[in-house]
Chains A and B, each alone.
Chain A
């Protein structure tokens, strides 16, 4: 865990801002007052957390489904270990791929070590994207499977809670 550069105020800030900004002229005012900071100090801290990589993106967070991107296919690949980084980086460049992760195999049940999420208006479009990828990038040689989502039982951003000890818990 890389916690060394986060102080107690950062933790409280992360906790206070996790549900997003209010739609008012000075959206940091309330948080700043709570934390005993100025608005500018809040913004400066957020910029630092972004530079340090604790925040990977700051902006509008959309619901794909409500935008008409109703299908998402999780494609899992079995890629030789020495090639997986190159192929993972290549896949992450496609605009319709939102996540691309390397994960461990769990043999014999699970031989796949590369995961990417392909979004589309419907399943046919997602399958089409996958077919294009395989052709263009010469990926047909690798075993892959596509898993479509059916029911969404839960979807929300990661939650933080503050323990009494002031240690941050990422829940």
Chain B
């Protein structure tokens, strides 16, 4: 599925991507390849959908307000409610999960007041209760995802 080079690039550069003006040339130097080969490999991984993007992952908690929300939606209404949730720009993840609380989504906004207002609107439209579960502590450790 993945070539040894693709695997190596994915394992090495989820975290130790060079923050320099010429990152692909720096990668090429470390990998003993040409810059063109590195770019070619990355382009292939993007085309396959393995890489979503190369860049920053922001700490949502420092940038603004965010929360995880759970809703218990009757099965026959799930698609309609999911589409409503998706229609908000502030929602960036929205999953069905196998639980009485079967719809889970993440809301990110500028302020906590914006989030409260958005959730109240969703409750009013759907007439369904929701659980507002903001992150209190992130136990994140920078390990990267093994591939």
Write the residues of chain A forming the contact surface with B, with a CB cutoff of 8 angstroms.
Answer: 1-2, 14, 17-21, 23-28, 39-40, 42-43, 46-47, 49-50, 53-64, 66-68, 74, 85, 88-89, 91-93, 95-96, 98-104, 106, 109-110, 115, 119, 145, 147-161, 167-171
14 contacts between A and B (CB under 8 A): A14-B58, A20-B54, A23-B42, A23-B43, A60-B10, A60-B17, A102-B135, A110-B70, A119-B145, A156-B93, A157-B92, A159-B92, A168-B110, A170-B66
Per DSSP, chain B at the interface is: mixed
Contacts of A170 in B (CB 8 A): 58, 60, 63-66, 108-110
Bound CA–CA A151/B91 (angstroms): 16
Write the residues of chain B forming the contact surface with A, with a CB cutoff of 8 angstroms.
Answer: 1-2, 9-10, 13-17, 19-25, 35, 39, 42-43, 46, 48-60, 62-66, 68, 70, 82-83, 85-86, 89-99, 101-102, 104-105, 108-111, 131-143, 145-147
Bound CA–CA A25/B89 (angstroms): 33
Are A158 and B108 interface neighbours, CB within 8 A? yes
Contacts of A150 in B (CB 8 A): 95-98, 102
Residue of B nearest to A38 (CB): B21
Bound CA–CA A74/B68 (angstroms): 12
Q: Tell me how far the C-beta of A47 lies from the nearest C-beta in chain B, rounded to whole angstroms.
A: 5
Q: Tell me how far the C-beta of B85 lies from the nearest C-beta in chain A, rounded to whole angstroms.
A: 7
Are B23 and A21 interface neighbours, CB within 8 A? yes
Are B21 and A145 interface neighbours, CB within 8 A? no
Contacts of A20 in B (CB 8 A): 52-55
Are A54 and B63 interface neighbours, CB within 8 A? yes
Q: Tell me how far the C-beta of A148 lies from the nearest C-beta in chain B, rounded to whole angstroms.
A: 5
Name the one of B22, B43, B60 contacting A26, with C-beta atoms under 8 angstroms.
B22
Q: Tell me how far the C-beta of B111 lies from the nearest C-beta in chain A, rounded to whole angstroms.
A: 7
Contacts of A158 in B (CB 8 A): 58, 60, 63, 66, 92, 108
Closest 3 CB pairs of A and B: A20-B53, A170-B64, A59-B17
